[in-house]
Amino acid sequence: MRIKNNYLANLFENVCRTNANEIEFLQAVNEVLSSLEPVVERRPDLAAAGVIERLVEPERLIQFRVSWTDDAGRVRVNRGYRVQFNSAIGPYKGGLRLHPSVNASILKFLGFEQVFKNALTGLPIGGAKGGSNFDPKGKSDGEIMRFCQSFMTELARHVGADTDVPAGDIGVGGREIGYMFGQYKRIRNEFTGVLTGKGLTFGGSLVRTEATGYGLCYFTQEMLSARGLGFAGSRIVISGSGNVAIYAAEKAAQLGGRVIAMSDSNGYIHDPEGIDLAVIKQIKEVERGRISEYARRVPRAAYTEGPGVWSVPCEIALPCATQNDLALEDAKRLCRNGCFAVAEGANMPCTAEAIALFQHSGVLFAPAKAANAGGVAVSALEMSQNSLRMAWSFEEVDSRLQEIMAGIYRKACAAASEYGRPGDLICGANIAAFLKVAEAMLWQGVA
Ligand code: NDP
Ligand code: 2IT
């Protein structure tokens, strides 16, 4: 997106120079800077204090070697990272991604987004992200354990309950968090809330597993009901079939929607009568299998190899797989098929061109930073419970999650209106989050 404001355009040019070829990171920064035009015009003090120049530079980027031994006894080497992006409003907080595509650009974009997302939750957490180019697919439990132990052996010196609290993301769920927690405890000899997404028997919070998907639907519900719309009677298409996708599907169905298509990186299933989520959970959470298996077990469903989940006609689209998985052509197709709302469960799943088309076509659009903040919000509630040495009930955490998501919606709407972009939740979310972090940075001096 072309930035019109001179100061921001120059700043972005400089970010492009210093982060050349980091396309995902530049995409995320460009979107935020474009939103900030009305803010810098009103707040010259922020430019004077160099707040934005500081915000686009990670406070610390740690890269390390992760060596481990596979089941055949062969030594394997991966690259590990932690990007500690901004700690102005709390300890660094954000997930760990294990996927062969992981590189510095992807983790910087995710860490940057996390800073704003975490600010929107209203809870005291800074932003970070980490992970490795390790590919968990096809690995045995033993290999996963040895990788996680090796990864944490180095990471342990950089994290801590009051310093930096990692959690899950793509390829990291309860199993991986458990192995990492066990290794941290062994190295430090302390039982603290250094990770979130832990098992329920050792400090995990109820609702954390469901939180991102449920939160996405709570946010979407707010956005829809403001226009007199809802999930009830709508057909829903979801990309991905991992943690976020599964619990988005569960809540969307509870709210009266019919989830008719889901995908994985190999292909997608279409089940016009509504996907049987128990079958998906068995395939994905228990067997760690492929989504094609669904069509074998539910004969009324069809499986199609390859991308293309967005060609299935629907009223509500929930991209919950990965970045840039919904591009301009997909957006055109969704619009032609009558889709009226898109809410991002994944981080940056829609390309800038796709978003521009949705906005131009009047499709309701919920940006990731706001819409998928439920996961990290419940992570912060897990940190609180760990500090209190307490465990809250499912109902208690779920009702706090609902309040937080409604609060984020209100904040994004209010900021959008106040800065002359009524109804634009992207601008609203970016501005509300930015102002909170910027204020904290101003008070803490140049650092
Ligand atoms: P999972 O690993 O549980 O699931 C990821 C899903 O996305 C899988 O179905 C996977 O398919 C698919 N996928 C991943 N990469 C690709 C790709 N390159 N092309 C096509 N499909 C792909 O991860 P999560 O559900 O936790 O994360 C999904 C998204 O949500 C990510 O963007 C993540 O950053 C974001 N997110 C996660 C939160 C959380 O609490 N977990 C919180 C907020 C955002 P396959 O199995 O074939 O690889
Ligand atoms: O992108 C995200 O917000 C996450 N992967 C969750 C981070 C967390 O700390 O729970």
The pLDDT of residue 222: 98
Cα–Cα separations (whole angstroms), residue 133 to 64, 147, 262: 12, 11, 25
Cα–Cα separations (whole angstroms), residue 135 to 144, 242, 343: 10, 15, 28
| 60-191 and 211-371 in the same fold | yes
Residues 37 and 12: beta-carbon distance below 8 Å: no
The burial of 248, by beta-carbon neighbours within 10 Å (0-12 exposed, 13-18 middle, 19 or more buried), is given as: buried
The pLDDT of residue 356: 98
Question: In a 3-state reduction of DSSP, which class is residue 168?
Answer: strand
Amino acid (one-letter) located at 140:
S
Q: Are strands 341-343 and 258-263 parallel, antiparallel or unpaired?
A: unpaired
Structure tokens at 209: 């597993």
**Cα(169) to centroid(ligand 2), Å:** 6
Query: Does ligand 2 come within 6 angstroms of the Cβ of 169?
Result: yes
> Of the candidates 69, 132, 96, 138, which has an alpha carbon nearest to the alpha carbon of residue 376?
96
CB-based contacts of 282, cutoff 8 Å, min separation 6: none
End-to-end CA distance of the chain: 30
The pLDDT of residue 377: 99
**Cα(80) to centroid(ligand 2), Å:** 18
The pLDDT of residue 129: 99
Amino acid (one-letter) located at 396:
E
Mutation pick for ligand 2 pocket among 123, 379, 383 (CB with most ligand atoms within 8 Å) = 379
Q: Is the pLDDT of residue 424 over 90?
A: yes
Cα–Cα distance between 313 and 213 in angstroms, integer?
21
CA 393 remoteness from chain centre: 25
CA 359 remoteness from chain centre: 21
**Cα(81) to centroid(ligand 2), Å:** 16
pLDDT (mean) for 271-299: 98
Task: Report the CATH number of the 211-371 domain.
Answer: 3.40.50.720
Query: Does ligand 2 come within 6 angstroms of the Cβ of 209?
Result: no
Query: Does ligand 2 come within 6 angstroms of the Cβ of 93?
Result: yes
Q: pLDDT (tens digit, 9 = 90+) per residue, 160-216? A: 999 999 999 999 999 999 999 999 999 999 999 999 999 999 999 999 999 999 999
> Of the candidates 64, 59, 7, 62, which has an alpha carbon nearest to the alpha carbon of residue 36?
7
Cα–Cα distance between 34 and 40 in angstroms, integer?
11
Instruction: Indicate which ligand has the atom closest to the C-alpha of 248.
Output: 1
The burial of 306, by beta-carbon neighbours within 10 Å (0-12 exposed, 13-18 middle, 19 or more buried), is given as: exposed
pTM: 0.98
Cα–Cα distance between 93 and 165 in angstroms, integer?
5
Closest residue by Cα to atom 4, ligand 2, is 95
Question: In a 3-state reduction of DSSP, which class is residue 295?
Answer: helix
Structure tokens at 211: 């939180």
Cα–Cα distance between 126 and 109 in angstroms, integer?
15
Binned at pLDDT 50, 70 and 90, residue 359 comes out as very high
Q: Where are the domains of the chain?
A: 6-55, 60-191, 211-371
Closest residue by Cα to atom 10, ligand 1, is 264
- Please state, as a whole number, how many other Cβ atoms lie within 10 Å of the Cβ of residue 256: 11
Query: Does ligand 2 come within 6 angstroms of the Cβ of 205?
Result: no
Q: pLDDT (tens digit, 9 = 90+) per residue, 251-264? A: 999 999 999 999 99
Residues 199 and 178: beta-carbon distance below 8 Å: yes
Q: Is the pLDDT of residue 272 over 90?
A: yes
The pLDDT of residue 161: 98
CATH 3.40.50.10860 fits 60-191, yes or no: yes
Q: pLDDT (tens digit, 9 = 90+) per residue, 35-62? A: 999 999 999 999 999 999 999 999 999 9
- pLDDT above 90: percentage of residues in the chain: 100
**Cα(7) to centroid(ligand 2), Å:** 32
Residues 316 and 235: beta-carbon distance below 8 Å: yes
**Cα(173) to centroid(ligand 1), Å:** 11
Instruction: Name residues contacting ligand 1 (CB within 6 A).
Output: 168-171, 212, 240-245, 264-266, 320-322, 325, 345-347, 372, 375
- Please state, as a whole number, how many other Cβ atoms lie within 10 Å of the Cβ of residue 303: 19
Closest residue by Cα to atom 10, ligand 2, is 376
The pLDDT of residue 444: 98
Closest residue by Cα to atom 28, ligand 1, is 321
Q: Is the pLDDT of residue 112 over 90?
A: yes
Q: pLDDT (tens digit, 9 = 90+) per residue, 328-352? A: 999 999 999 999 999 999 999 999 9
pLDDT (mean) for 392-417: 98
Dihedral of alpha carbons 87, 113, 13, 43, sign: negative
Cα–Cα separations (whole angstroms), residue 175 to 100, 142, 308, 353, 368: 19, 11, 31, 37, 25
DSSP string, 346-384: SSS-B-HHHHHHHHHTT-EEE-HHHHTTHHHHHHHHHHH
Cα–Cα distance between 344 and 318 in angstroms, integer?
6
**H or E element at residue 260:** strand 258-263
Cα–Cα distance between 358 and 279 in angstroms, integer?
33
pLDDT (mean) for 375-381: 99
Q: Kindly report the CA angle at 262 between 258 and 267, in degrees rounded to 5?
A: 150
What ligand 1 atom has the least distance to the C-alpha of 110? 34
The pLDDT of residue 1: 79
Q: pLDDT (tens digit, 9 = 90+) per residue, 117-161? A: 999 999 999 999 999 999 999 999 999 999 999 999 999 999 999
pLDDT (mean) for 220-244: 98
